[in-house]
Amino acid sequence: MAASSKNPQGRVLRTAYGSSYAEAFLVIAIITILVTRLYLALTGYPQVGGATLHIAHALYGGAAMMAALLIGWLFLGFGPRVLAVVVGGIGFGLLLDEIGKFVTKDNDYFYGPSAEIMYVLIVLVLVANRLIRIARPPTAAEYLANAAAIAADGLAGGIPPHRREAAARMLDEAQKLGSAPNAVAGIRMILDSAGHRDDRIESGKRFAVGLIPGFFRSPRWVPIVGWLMVLAAAVGVVFGVVQLVSGGVHVDTDDVRIEIDRMGITGGILFVSASITLLMALPAMIAVHRRDSLRALRTVRTAALIFTALNALANFATSGFGALPTLALGLFTMAVLSHHISMRTEESARSAEPPDSAIGRVVGHRFDTGHSHRKDDNVQDDEQNHEDHPDHQ
């Protein structure tokens, strides 16, 4: 392969850790919304500005997002980038919390569909983020540029061991894909000269995982949450079929009262969600039960994601923030499945993968594209693990 580090057709280059920053930004925004609503409810919705003015907290949100942009523009290094994500996420949450005021003529903060608007917007951003991640495999220019960015961060404040290793593997991949040897060698020199630092964020993640009670990390939760989701989806399909066939059922006797309204938009969303979930999760759970397949377990997790996202959309439309308990249960299901997929694929990697294939496993350098042409199930499972945890390196 000819040695070249050119960016083909002037493509926009993706950053290896950008998707993780985007997801963290949205998580911080969601937490900010919930904390803000709780604070206002507990304090009686106070207003800042006196008798004539009302300084909405959306203004503070805009100021925080401006500060995040300035931090990103003015400073180099990993630390300022993380600070920009945190400050920007808080600002976006404060702004989004007052969306009801922006879409109603009477500036109604308590506008009913506000929760649904927030939810749809966040889901759209997450979907766009995901599409960018899986659009195509990483190019030589992306491997090279991201390794150079990590090396530059190292000059600004040192590099944690796992990021140094990630950058080295990115350089290996860039060289295999045809990057100029002198460019690769130059970045290696910068990487080698960068100082060392401890990664407090990574240590914090491990500490947080350690705080989770062992009861919730037990593999016994996998069949419990999996089959409960299948059961819930089956019930949803039955209700949807009844709505479609009969246009609704109303039975009211001394002993039994059944009310199933005719299908509307919300009912249609719930029916589609339940149908897709059942078609995916039922055969996957059977496969998990019979042969403990990791691939089937990932299918169950995908079904849980679809079920949670679509159901939350419908529930937010009808119940507003009352839909949060249902959303929390869905997130718990996905967390259980993701944890056990991660644990098992890491064990598979340690026990089954040959040393020379480790280059293909670093999280950052694969950019979470999930592209794999290998047929070995263990190797595919290991590669997928890095899609599950885009920033564990």
Confidence of residue 173 (pLDDT cuts 50, 70, 90): very high
The first and second tokens of residue 38, run together, are 């709780």
Q: Is the pLDDT of residue 95 over 80?
A: yes
The first and second tokens of residue 198, run together, are 């401890």
Amino acid found at 227: W
Q: In the predicted model, what is the mean pLDDT of the chain?
A: 78
pLDDT attached to residue 177: 92
Cβ proximity of 345 and 381 under 8 Å? yes
Q: Is the pLDDT of residue 184 over 80?
A: yes
Pinpoint the alpha helices (H) of 44-160: 57-74, 78-97, 99-103, 114-134, 140-157
- Give the side-chain half-sphere CA count within 13 A for 83: 14
Question: From residue 108, how far is each of 47, 102, 316 by CA, in Å?
Answer: 14, 8, 17
Amino acid found at 268: G
| Burial bucket for residue 15 (CB in 10 Å: 0-12, 13-18, 19+) | middle
pLDDT digits (tens, 9 = 90+) for 303-341: 888 888 777 767 776 676 777 777 888 888 888 888 778
- Rounded to 5 degrees, φ, ψ at 332 are -65, -40
DSSP result, 152-205: HHHHHH-B-HHHHHHHHHHHHHHHHTT--HHHHHHHHHHHHHSPB---HHHHHH
Tally Cβ neighbours within 10 Å of residue 193.
10
Confidence of residue 259 (pLDDT cuts 50, 70, 90): low
- Give the side-chain half-sphere CA count within 13 A for 346: 12
Highest mean pLDDT among 114-118, 201-205, 223-227, 324-328: 223-227
CA distance 3 to 7: 12
Amino acid found at 166: A
pLDDT attached to residue 249: 56
pLDDT attached to residue 250: 58
pLDDT attached to residue 323: 73
Q: What is the CA radius of gyration of the chain?
A: 24
Kindly report the pTM of this predicted structure. 0.69
The first and second tokens of residue 300, run together, are 């169950």
pLDDT digits (tens, 9 = 90+) for 350-380: 665 444 333 334 444 345 433 433 444 444 4
pLDDT digits (tens, 9 = 90+) for 56-81: 899 999 999 999 999 999 998 888 99
The first and second tokens of residue 137, run together, are 């495999």
Strands (E), the chain: 249-252, 257-260
DSSP result, 198-211: --HHHHHHHHHHHH
Cβ proximity of 24 and 89 under 8 Å? yes
Which 3 state secondary structure label does DSSP give 251? strand
pLDDT digits (tens, 9 = 90+) for 15-57: 988 988 998 898 899 889 888 888 888 888 888 876 777 788 9
CA distance 330 to 311: 9
CA distance 85 to 68: 7
pLDDT attached to residue 150: 93
Which 3 state secondary structure label does DSSP give 76? coil
Strand partners, 196: 159
CA distance 88 to 58: 13
Q: Tell me, rounded to whole angstroms, the distance of Cα 303 from its chain centroid.
A: 15
